[in-house]
Amino acid sequence: MYTTGDTVKGTVTIKPTSNKKVEHQGIRIELLGQVELFFDRGNYYDFLALSRELEPAGDVSGDVELPFEFKSCDMQHESYTGINVRLRYVLRVTVTRGYGGGIVKELPFCVRLVQNLPDINNTLKMEVGIEDCLHIEFEYSKAKYHLKDVVVGKIYFLLVRIRIKHMDLEIRRRESTGSGANTYNESETLAKFEVMDGAPVRTESIPIRIFLSPYDLTPSYKNINNKFSVKYFLNLVLVDEEDRRYFKQQEIQLWRNELI
């Protein structure tokens, strides 16, 4: 695992499978940062491409070790694998041959980025209402959370004239790929909590405390390489005794405060 500004270095070992000399037209290593959209699988969009020549044209007659180094790499995006998109970093070694096709070997690696503490992190408030039937307010201590954080808040019932059976709070991720009219959104529920079972009464309040660390969360991403975005939401779901469902969701921002 690496972060931006790190030096990526190592050794490429070439091992012929026979005692014969293997002729080649050069050996090259590349460090690539790529975005792959799954509806366009196999086509990669490079946002980072570094290359080093390891060996000029010649032949290999035995095991050869070739050191390489990419200094202070500007790896500006995190590795990510979602429903419809993947952002990856890979080392690719190519042995170019004049016959029989080239030999290519890839080694993927992970990149994570530590982000700064947000300058402004206001309290998050919102309301759910059905005219003359239901009025709920809920409040969270902040709108931006790091990946090991705890969501703390309260739900207030100001008016209750429908029979609520139960209430759930969900953490949802929305992945958007493409752009303009070709934007495709895919949502998934990562966590679901039952915060109330039974009918509340007016003036009642319910405390909320959700630990984020057990879940497979990433930072929020905005328009990465003009290919995709990832947003997170707290989604409140109320179900009445006739199984009618009422929804209210609020976006939250997630950020990474440590590499692990």
User: In the CATH scheme, what is the code of domain 8-109?
Assistant: 2.60.40.640
Find which of 2-11, 171-180, 182-191 is predicted with most confidence, using mean pLDDT. 2-11
With 90 as the cut, is the pLDDT of residue 125 above it? no
pLDDT score at 177: 92
The phi and psi torsions of 38 (rounded to 5 degrees) equal: -70, -25
What is the overall mean pLDDT for the chain? Answer: 89
Q: Positive or negative CA dihedral for 39, 45, 229, 108?
A: positive
Nearest CA among 6, 8, 99, 93 for reference residue 53: 93
Is 256 a residue whose pLDDT tops 90?
yes
pLDDT at 161 over 80: no
Q: What is the mean pLDDT of residues 39-60?
A: 90
Which pLDDT does position 192 carry in this prediction? 92
Residue 137 DSSP SS3: strand
Instruction: Pick the most confident of 17-21, 110-114, 120-124, 128-132.
Output: 110-114
pTM of the model: 0.86
Name the nearest CA neighbour of 97 among 177, 11, 25: 25
Sole residue written with tokens 């995190």: 78
Q: How far apart are CA 116 and CA 256, in angstroms?
A: 8
In the structure, what pLDDT confidence band is assigned to residue 55 with cuts at 50, 70 and 90? very high
Give the contacts of 175 (CB within 8 A, at least 6 positions apart): 82, 83, 84, 85, 185, 186, 187, 188, 228, 229, 230
Instruction: List, in order, residues 6 or more apart from 182 with CB less than 8 Å away.
Output: none
Domain extent listing, the chain:
8-109, 124-255
CA neighbours closer than 13 Å in the CB half-sphere of residue 140: 25
| pLDDT score at 89 | 98
The band of 244, judged by pLDDT with boundaries at 50, 70 and 90, is confident
Confidence of residue 56 (pLDDT cuts 50, 70, 90): very high
Least confident of 28-37, 145-154, 178-187, 231-240: 178-187
Could you tell me what percent of the chain has a pLDDT over 90? 55
Top pLDDT among 69 and 245 is at 69
Residue 232 pairs with which residues in a beta bridge? Answer: 173, 252
pLDDT of 132: 74
Q: Confirm whether 8-109 and 124-255 share one CATH topology.
A: yes
**Record: fold of 124-255:** Immunoglobulin-like (2.60.40)
